[in-house]
Amino acid sequence: MAGAVEVFNQDSWGDRFIAPVGEDTTSSTDAFEYSVFYVMAGDDGTELFLNGLQIDINGDSVIDANDVLNIGDNFVIEGLQEGDELTSNRPVQVDLITGDINSTYELRWYAQVDADEWTNEYITPVAEEVGSTGYWFYNPNDSQITISYEGGNSPNGDFNVAANSSTFIEVDSNGDINLSGDNYSGLRFFTDGTNNGGATPNFYGLAQVDADGGGQIYDWGFPLIPSDQLTSQVLVGLGRGATDDGLPLNNQGEESRSVVWVTPIEDSNIFIDFDGDGTFDYNESVDALDSLRIVDDTGLFSGAEG
């Protein structure tokens, strides 16, 4: 079993993280039966607090000066419950690891965004019916919010999320978001004043792929990134993948098992340099919120720049 998470630069680390899901979050695939935070310190003398109480890091049942992490140290917080709040006196990097206990095998990894960086708009390049993409949205506010959505190949709509809790939304022909004409789309989720009494409340979201199956074949996931953290250039440091039989570059089929997904927020030309030699090998015009899935005919994408 294996997984991967983004390794954020230290300027993007934080000191307040809220678990958007936990072991008490009900999922049809038991996706969060195991939920933990992996925490890594960037500075010496880092203290951790869970729901306001300092964590006994060395496990001696006494809170003292020894209960600190030093630079590069990590600590695992087990038994996470939805809405648990982790704080620290110095910036830390946090990953949420979730799994279905005794499954063969369901596991997902999510690099976490500081709760103070949560926003009112997120864009995802992944919305598919092949593996059934689901989304979990957490509302940290003390009142209900309404989240709207739109996509390049989906109807517009909205849904409510109760105060201080999560809601599940699924992309499926029989689900909440029914894609039309194609099995793929990008999506934009946002709050605005129209449905929220003039306010634009912040929220957070995770994607759960293989949300309506057993969670064992297409199971992967990712955090939604605040729209103000998106960029016009991405370097794929390691993109080793696999295809069954040398599929075309803009593969639309199901055989490609490792794909780079791209969605522009406006109509754009996407340029790709597969070997990182400074020369673009491919480009394609992509409409706003459409989903482009990229793989070369070897299944390898290392060092590629887009």
Query: Is the model's pLDDT at 219 over the cut of 90?
Result: no
Instruction: Write the CATH number of the domain with boundaries 118-229.
Output: 2.60.290
| Residue spans of beta strands (DSSP E) within 13-132 | 14-18, 34-41, 48-50, 53-54, 74-77, 85-99, 107-111, 121-124
Output the pLDDT for position 306.
52
Average pLDDT over residues 265-284: 90
- Return the higher-pLDDT residue of 269 and 258: 269
Q: Where are the domains of the chain?
A: 10-115, 118-229, 231-306
d(CA 226, CA 205): 9
Cβ–Cβ under 8 Å, residues 129 and 177? no
**Contact residues for 11 (Cβ-Cβ < 8 A; gap 6+):** none
Give the sheet arrangement for strand 145-151, strand by strand: 121-124, 187-190, 145-151, 154-161
- What pLDDT, on the 0 to 100 scale, is given for residue 244? 52
Q: What percent of the chain has pLDDT over 70?
A: 88
pLDDT given at position 242: 57
Taking all residues of the chain, what is their mean pLDDT, rounded to a whole number? 88
pLDDT at 303 over 70: no
Q: What stretch of H or E contains 235? A: strand 235-236
- Residues 175 and 64 sit within 8 Å (Cβ to Cβ): no
Cα–Cα distance for residue pair 99/207, rounded to 1 Å: 14
The structure's pTM equals 0.91
Please report the pLDDT score of residue 66 as a whole number: 95
- State the pLDDT confidence band at 93, using cuts at 50, 70 and 90: very high
- Residue 240, pLDDT > 70, answer no
Give the residue-averaged pLDDT of 83-88: 98
Q: In the prediction, which pLDDT does 140 show?
A: 98
Whether the per-residue pLDDT at 19 is higher than 50: the answer is yes
CB 212 within 8 Å of CB 272: no
Q: What pLDDT score was predicted for residue 181?
A: 60
**CA 31 centroid distance within chain:** 14
Q: How confident is the model at residue 249 (pLDDT cuts 50, 70, 90)?
A: very low
Fold of the domain built from segment(s) 10-115 = Jelly Rolls (2.60.120)
Total residues found in the chain within this entry: 306
Q: Are strands 107-111 and 121-124 parallel, antiparallel or unpaired?
A: unpaired
Q: Is the pLDDT of residue 248 over 60?
A: no
> Which of residues 177 and 75 earns the better pLDDT score?
75
- Tell me which of 4-8, 128-132, 151-155 is least confident: 128-132
User: Has residue 182 got a pLDDT over 80?
Assistant: no
Phi, psi of 301 (to 5 degrees): -140, 25
Residue 54 has pLDDT above 90, yes or no: yes
Whole-number pLDDT of residue 125: 93
Q: What percent of the chain has pLDDT over 90?
A: 64
pLDDT at residue number 253: 45
- What single-letter DSSP state applies at residue 255? -
